[in-house]
Homo-oligomer: A and B are copies of this chain.
Amino acid sequence: MRKKIFSWLVASPPRTLAIGFAFIIGLGSFLLHLPVASSSGEETRYIDALFTATSATCVTGLVVVDTGDHYSVFGQIVILTMIQIGGLGFMSMATLFAIFLKRRISLKERLILQEALNQSSIEGIVRLVRRVVLYALTIEAAGALLLTIRFLTNMSPGRAIYYGVFHAVSFFNNAGFDLMGGFSSLTGYADDPWVNLVSMALIVVGGLGFVVLSDLTDLRGGRRLSLHSKVVLTMSGSLILFGAIVVFAFEYANPGTMGPLNTGTKILTAFMQSVSPRTAGVNTLNLTDLRQATQFFIIILMFIGASPGSTGGGIKTTTFAALLGAVWAIIRGREDVVMFRYRLAQERVYKALTLTLLALALVLTATMILSTTEDHHFLMILFEVVSAFGTVGLSLGLTSDLTLFGKIVIMLMMFAGRLGPLTLGYALVPKRDKVLYREAEGKIIIG
């Protein structure tokens, strides 16, 4: 019987992942809805507990009630646990998928592999998951230590440690939950380089994906970076820099945001507002006061998101890179997408295109539907939907204003956004009918 359940679970990893997430959300929402989970000692409405649990497990960070104000320490620890399980679970599974996909060449080989999975591979999986957990905990511990040192200057030691741990875990998992109260996120720390740099480092590292982290660690052993890692690092770096420049340019003179800040803080906030939408979801500027142009630009960053197999969401940097690669190839008059001297298979580019168009269709459809049920401006609704789909957690204030229907749609978007791109990336592997040799082919993970 146990063997039967196990083979049913490994038969379709995306299904297993979806069931696992649903189970954690169910359990978490039950705990969060208890009176002991709220700071007032009153029961939390179930729909709000469910929303929080979904948001935490999908590491999104959209909140209908403020995490710091509304929940008790017990409630906050439940949330933190869900973030940790959601983030690590997803990261491990995504990494497994990537490895599984790498091997997945023919149907025959796949069948052999699946059989094999029942016997010898379990220890391989255990080893991999252990490594993912080790990496994550190490980085989180370092982040927690650095944040605690800073918080000790304005908090009691116990509180400083608690805040250090909570925010390090939240940021590394790109969860975007915080304890600052009043839906303020990190706006109170806008001019604090220490908090900002540590937070950004946690967010960026968490968003690179385990494969890249593993590659980077192996660099000391003289191994070279894989194509995938090169693409992820280049795209992430470029997006952060480009994003910061755009935010800086649009907000420089805005009296509601950067206007009153000194140049150093302007630069710091520009980088934070560029890093965080992909897809951490903390903010140091008041988002509602941003210019519409900046708000829309942030929507684009949220849509692109982080890298495959990371704690972040979105269509992923590599997907975006494949699209840009096609544009560049056509402009240069080349037939193939070439990155770092490797040709990308047509199938990868088509897949990137497919993922992007399906994501776009989902996001736009949800936005159009919500714009008939929620009495707000289109941009505000689009922002919220993309934030949910990209598991970002930034909001222009719609979350706490959502109708019941709106909450359900946003919850579904968080769930779809967390599992969708990965599942699509996993499911949409075309059968190869022929192998044609041109340049040596390089692989990057899409989705």
Contact B433 A335 (CB under 8 A): yes
Note all chain B residues with C-beta closer than 8 A to A432: 335
Q: Dominant SS at the A interface?
A: helix
Partner of A323, one of B336, B357, B364: B357
Tallying the copies of this chain within the complex gives 2
Query: Which A335-377 residues sit within 8 Å CB-CB of chain B?
Result: 335-337, 346-347, 349-351, 353-354, 357-358, 364, 367-369, 371-372, 377
Note all chain B residues with C-beta closer than 8 A to A324: 357
Note all chain B residues with C-beta closer than 8 A to A169: none
Partner of A353, one of B326, B334, B351: B326
Which residue of the partner chain B has the closest CB to A357?
B327
Partner of A300, one of B292, B329, B364: B364
Note all chain B residues with C-beta closer than 8 A to A327: 353-354, 357-358
Note all chain B residues with C-beta closer than 8 A to A428: 330-331, 333
A323 to B353, CA, bound (A): 8
A291-B354 contact in complex given A296-B378, A364-B300, C-beta closer than 8 Å: no
Q: 0/1 per residue, A38-67, Cβ < 8 Å to B? A: 000000000000000000000000000000
Query: Which A404-431 residues sit within 8 Å CB-CB of chain B?
Result: 428-431
Contact A296 B367 (CB under 8 A): yes
**How near does chain B come to A364, taking the closest CB pair, in angstroms?**
7
Note all chain B residues with C-beta closer than 8 A to A300: 364
In the complex, whether A440 has a CB less than 8 A from a CB of chain B is no
In the complex, whether A438 has a CB less than 8 A from a CB of chain B is yes
Contact A296 B377 (CB under 8 A): no
Partner of A371, one of B293, B330, B347, B368: B293
Partner of A326, one of B337, B354, B367: B354
Contact A330 B351 (CB under 8 A): yes
Contact A330 B430 (CB under 8 A): yes
Note all chain B residues with C-beta closer than 8 A to A333: 428-431
In the complex, whether A213 has a CB less than 8 A from a CB of chain B is no
In the complex, whether A223 has a CB less than 8 A from a CB of chain B is no
Partner of A346, one of B335, B369, B379, B430: B335
A351 to B364, CA, bound (A): 24
In the complex, whether A434 has a CB less than 8 A from a CB of chain B is yes
A377 to B291, CA, bound (A): 11
In the complex, whether A297 has a CB less than 8 A from a CB of chain B is yes
Contact A430 B371 (CB under 8 A): no
Note all chain B residues with C-beta closer than 8 A to A346: 335-336, 346
**How near does chain B come to A245, taking the closest CB pair, in angstroms?**
13
Note all chain B residues with C-beta closer than 8 A to A250: 368, 372
Note all chain B residues with C-beta closer than 8 A to A349: 350, 353
The 4 closest A-B pairs by CB, nearest first: A293-B368, A330-B354, A378-B379, A292-B371
A sample of 12 more A-B contacts (CB under 8 A), given A293-B367, A333-B430, is A250-B372, A292-B368, A292-B377, A296-B367, A297-B368, A300-B364, A323-B353, A326-B350, A329-B430, A334-B430, A337-B350, A379-B379
